Amino acid sequence: MAAGALPSEDFGPEAQACVLEADQPLSKSILWRAQRDYFEREGIAAWSAPAVPHYVTTNPSLVHAIAQTVLGYWRDCHASPSSGPLHILELGAGSGRFAYLFLRAMLELCARVPSRDVRFKYVMTDLAGSNLAFWRTHPSLRPFVDAGWLDFALFDVEKDDGLVLSESGTPLQPGSFDGPLAVIANYVFDSVPQDAFAVSEGQLHECLVTVLTDPQAPGVGTTGVFSQMRLHYSHRLAGFDHYPEPEFNQLLRGYASTLDGTTVLLPTVALRCVERLAALAKGRLLLISADRGFVHEKELAGREDPQLSVHGSFSLPVNYHAFCQWFRAKGGLALHTAHRQLSLHTCAFILGEPAAHAEETCFAYHLAFEGAGFDDFFRLRQGIESQYSMLEVEHILALLRLSRYDPRILRDCVPVLMMHAGSLSPMERQELADVVSRVWENYFHIGEARDLPFEFAGLLHTLGEPTAALALFQESLCLYGEDPRTFWNMALCAVALKRPDEAARFLARTWALAPDFNPGIALLSKDG
């Protein structure tokens, strides 16, 4: 078929669709400009709405596993008191939840490293300035900034080779610091430009994309446009010297010699970004990346031309097999699980020293991800979440501990815990209350509709913990504004604490806001 032909038998009703562009290399498509516009326009609302999925890469279990691996890398680097700190750069930090949990986990782990001064600087980056403004004023992040652990910077994965820290004003340019660099890129490389090649009988064909949309669809720069797009591909013969980078051409030759009848994605922009970042630290780099995609070459077989996975923005799977080959070609190390991951691949890669003797990194990664790792836990949680109502309290406590005190799991289990609270012994009540407090410490607010402090406070009140409950009801007021249900419950807490004047003030505010307030619904979820 000639490039650009759009036969109606292939598209049916879409034959009259509006052509936004025709026959462009995938990495040059207008799709990526629209993607950038989406994140710059939506800012933090992309995650709080929620439109863009992020829970799977921002939960305490995965974050702790990644922190363990980063600490293993620091131990391999044998940092001395005279060397610079380990810089940890998070690409596309988005909602900020990963950074918050990582800093908590990393500081906890560092406190357990015997007689070693683990010095590090965590840098949250994004291309959207509004996200930096949100992080800089977030009360949960400010203590880390004030202690010198955290800073922020604008960084464009597609082009930047340096950055400037917004709090300290320190520039990070190639070769500008002595310590090693760890880069964390979760749900990032699936959202930046990639190329696609069809492999057939030893030959390569570059996939050229035509982007179609309904004539009545919103414009390219508006919300919801991606769900209206359809992609059509034509194929153009490509040589094995397609790129100026010999490593990319080597990848293409390898795929042409081992695969047939499939289409492979090549993460060119992501790999170029990695090379630029390695130059910041004089070639010493750890990359940890979690995303959906493919690690083993056999997973690349039988693939059709790529289509968008739409979720507010859009994403394409990441070819981690190409990452592995690229790092090894440069004398580096690639770590991934031996078994196929169903929900999320989390891979680690090392360039420069100590790639040849990264025993601590390998050991930490093995403990965190091989065998019964995070992906298995995530799948298990998915399998039982519809059955939470059938669990006993001891089962839920075990699940919360295994999750490293995940706020989402507690949120989903609040109804069944409220149901069982009255039958618990004093020791069990205290145990559950302690777990609720630990879960709350892991909560990072991004403006979502569900009022978790209210729900957790209601559970604590039912458990006979009025002091802790009152503190969370006050958090609810701060985050979600005045509500008669919140003031009513605060009055109940004050009565339990024998503070009649305080209770009277809360009751007065309750009826000032809602003269016909019905206290029978006061301890239900605000969604109830």
User: pTM to 2 decimals?
Assistant: 0.93
Query: Residue 378 — pLDDT band, cuts 50, 70, 90?
Result: confident
Q: What residues are paired with 348 via a beta bridge?
A: 288, 335
pLDDT digits (tens, 9 = 90+) for 483-521: 999 999 999 999 999 999 999 999 999 999 999 888 866
Q: pLDDT: is 224 or 11 the higher one?
A: 224
Query: Is the separation of the CB atoms in 129 and 162 below 8 Å?
Result: no
* pLDDT score recorded for residue 8: 37
Q: How far is CA 137 from CA 49, 83, 122, 132, 479, in A?
A: 20, 31, 17, 9, 14
Average pLDDT across the chain, whole number: 91
- Is 90 exceeded by the pLDDT of residue 294? yes
For residue 490, how many other CB atoms are within 10 A of its CB?
26
Mean pLDDT to the nearest integer, 11-39: 85
H runs (alpha helix) in 262-406: 268-280, 320-329, 359-369, 374-384, 393-402
CA atoms within 13 A on the CB side of 171: 7
Rounded (10°) angle between helices 484-496 and 500-513 = 170
Q: How far is CA 468 from CA 145, 294, 312, 438, 461, in A?
A: 27, 46, 37, 12, 8
Query: Is the separation of the CB atoms in 362 and 335 below 8 Å?
Result: yes
Lowest mean pLDDT among 115-119, 149-153, 181-185, 446-450: 115-119
Tokens coding 179: 């310590």
What is the end-to-end Cα distance of the chain in Å, rounded? 57
pLDDT digits (tens, 9 = 90+) for 312-356: 899 999 999 999 999 999 999 999 998 877 779 999 999 998 888
Q: What is the dihedral of CA 320, 323, 324, 325, to 10 degrees?
A: 120
Query: Is the separation of the CB atoms in 425 and 490 below 8 Å?
Result: no
Q: What residues are paired with 198 via a beta bridge?
A: 205, 263
- Is 60 exceeded by the pLDDT of residue 15? no
Query: Residue 419 — pLDDT band, cuts 50, 70, 90?
Result: very high
The dihedrals phi and psi of 47, each to the nearest 5 degrees, come to -100, -30
For 465, which DSSP code?
-
Lowest mean pLDDT among 157-161, 341-345, 393-397, 458-462: 341-345
Q: What residues are paired with 237 via a beta bridge?
A: 205
Q: What residues are paired with 89 via a beta bridge?
A: 123, 183
Burial class (CB in 10 A: 0-12, 13-18, 19+), 170: middle
CA 1 to CA 10: how far, in whole Å? 12
CA atoms within 13 A on the CB side of 251: 28
* pLDDT score recorded for residue 50: 76
- Is 70 exceeded by the pLDDT of residue 525? no
pLDDT digits (tens, 9 = 90+) for 147-181: 999 999 999 999 999 999 999 999 999 988 788 99
Tokens coding 88: 């940890």
- Is 70 exceeded by the pLDDT of residue 5? no
Select the CATH number that applies to the domain covering 391-521 from these four: 1.25.40.10, 3.60.10.10, 3.30.70.360, 3.40.50.150: 1.25.40.10
Closest of 45, 34, 460 to residue 209, by C-alpha: 34
Mean pLDDT to the nearest integer, 246-255: 97
* pLDDT score recorded for residue 227: 86
Please state the domain extents for the chain. 391-521
Closest of 457, 387, 354, 473 to residue 72, by C-alpha: 354
Closest of 162, 161, 160, 163 to residue 152, by C-alpha: 163
* pLDDT score recorded for residue 113: 81
CA angle 493, 494, 495 (to 5 degrees): 90
CA 390 to CA 411: how far, in whole Å? 16
